[in-house]
């Protein structure tokens, strides 16, 4: 069975049926490659003449390539089709202090990765990303680069393609897209990190048959993406999913958004480090990775700090389950590396606060960093292949 696609916007009844057919052919091919034209017709239910026409266009555009000819007992020998692995995408997972860069092929395989440090100045930050990407691209001169995808720690306005909300990265309003396109001479696509992770799970992951899901990212902040009836919820200005900035207490630390008691001030990685510092004020505050290593090595104060973070995450999931009623909640980010500790506590807390019925399934992504990078690649694939034509024209 093919994986179910995610719509990046509300359903558009003006989309011509030929575009829907192209989407279906591309998805069947991508999820079942190598596959023949006959098999695509059988799986999609489309006429063979329609399949032939669409495949020829995909071949002409370079998304698909022909491979081996399969021997059969009788009749014409079918030619197998696959995604073109000579076509690659440059991607970046942008964080407040660094960007993880990668070059990915159409099948989601990482060919190379790099990390570049970032500073608060967006002009210098984008320059560092561009220079890092040019170095990655130079490693594969025989590959054709289709475009660039960025996963960002903030919300992107679909009309302006600029970040409109990013409490942990002072790049709001800066035209990241235009600056990168000028330096790289490639089309650039931007998306919030949580939405990028959700796209990754839809294209390369575990959302087959799921139409209602929430993905929570836990890092410096707390963000979310919501899949509702098969469509990715965005909101009027692309701000849907900022559940980390919903207050859950009238007291507590002041959030980076300016409010007091937001969920992310209790549930983020920064919160875990604060819990540790409060119990050990004389110790140097570690990084989140160091804190997790300390917990894994038996440090009780590190363990208590992470347990407090997990309880806060679980309590805050009442917001998520009451608002979205998901079948599954996916987690990406730092905590997934110690899921045997964190997951158990999160599930226990969720059972205490669920509004009604059984709680949704809780799943940790094995590699949140890869999910954000693959999501950035999936974003380029969707927009550049014509997949989900309701995306606004650029």
Structurally, what CATH architecture does the domain formed by 17-83 represent? Orthogonal Bundle (1.10)
Cα radius of gyration (the chain)? 22
Residue 108 to residue 30: CA distance in whole angstroms: 11
Residue 263 to residue 271: CA distance in whole angstroms: 10
pLDDT of residue 208: 75
pLDDT band for position 6 (50/70/90)? Answer: very low
Alpha-carbon dihedral 126, 129, 130, 136, rounded to 10 degrees: -170
Lowest mean pLDDT among 15-29, 59-73, 132-146: 15-29
The model carries a pTM of 0.79
pLDDT of residue 70: 58
Residue 388 to residue 394: CA distance in whole angstroms: 14
Residue of 226 and 2 predicted with greater confidence: 226
> Cis omega before residue 274 (within 30°)?
no
User: What is the CA angle 125-127-130, rounded to 5?
Assistant: 115
CATH topology of domain 87-198+371-384: Nucleotidyltransferase; domain 5 (3.30.420)
Question: In CATH terms, are 17-83 and 208-368 the same topology?
Answer: no
CATH topology of domain 208-368: Nucleotidyltransferase; domain 5 (3.30.420)
- All structural domains of the chain with their residue ranges: 17-83, 87-198+371-384, 208-368
pLDDT band for position 372 (50/70/90)? Answer: confident
Contacts of 16 (CB under 8 A, 6+ apart): 389
211 neighbors 324 (Cβ within 8 angstroms): no
- Per-residue pLDDT tens digits for 218-261: 988 899 999 998 888 888 777 788 899 999 999 999 998 899 99
> By three-state DSSP, how is residue 126 classified?
helix
């Amino acid at each position: 069975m093919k994986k179910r696609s995610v719509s990046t916007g509300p359903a558009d009844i003006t989309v011509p049926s030929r575009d829907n057919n192209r989407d279906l052919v591309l998805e069947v091919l991508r999820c079942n490659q190598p596959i023949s034209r006959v098999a695509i017709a059988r799986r999609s239910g489309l006429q063979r003449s329609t399949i032939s026409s669409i495949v020829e266009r995909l071949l002409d555009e370079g998304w698909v390539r022909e491979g081996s000819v399969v021997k059969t007992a009788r009749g014409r020998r079918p030619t197998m089709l696959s995604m073109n692995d000579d076509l690659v995408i440059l991607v970046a997972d942008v964080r407040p202090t660094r960007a993880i860069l990668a070059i990915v092929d159409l099948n989601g395989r990482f060919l190379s990765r790099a990390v570049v440090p970032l500073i608060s100045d967006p002009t210098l930050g984008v320059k560092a990303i561009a220079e890092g990407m040019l170095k990655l691209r130079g490693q594969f001169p025989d590959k054709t680069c289709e475009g660039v995808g960025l996963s960002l720690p903030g919300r992107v306005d679909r009309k302006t393609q600029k970040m409109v909300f990013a409490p942990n990265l002072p790049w709001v309003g800066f035209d990241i897209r235009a600056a990168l396109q000028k330096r790289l001479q490639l089309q650039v696509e931007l998306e919030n990190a949580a939405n990028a992770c959700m796209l990754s799970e839809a294209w390369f992951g575990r959302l087959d048959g799921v139409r209602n899901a929430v993905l929570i990212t836990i890092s410096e902040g707390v963000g979310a993406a919501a899949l509702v009836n098969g469509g990715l919820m965005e909101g009027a200005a692309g701000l849907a999913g900022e559940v980390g900035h919903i207050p859950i207490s009238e007291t507590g630390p002041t959030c980076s958004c300016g409010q007091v008691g937001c969920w992310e001030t209790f549930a983020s990685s920064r919160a875990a480090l604060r819990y540790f510092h409060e119990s050990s004020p004389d110790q140097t505050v570690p990084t989140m990775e160091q804190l997790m290593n300390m917990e894994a090595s038996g440090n009780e104060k590190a363990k208590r700090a992470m347990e407090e973070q997990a309880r806060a995450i679980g309590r805050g999931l009442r917001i998520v389950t009451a608002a979205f009623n998901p079948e599954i909640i996916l987690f990406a980010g730092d905590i997934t590396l110690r899921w045997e500790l964190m997951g158990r506590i999160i599930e226990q807390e969720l059972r205490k606060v669920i509004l009604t019925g059984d709680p949704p399934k809780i799943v940790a992504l094995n590699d949140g960093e890869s999910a954000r990078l693959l999501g950035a690649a999936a974003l380029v694939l969707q927009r550049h292949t014509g997949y989900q034509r309701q995306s606004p024209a650029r």
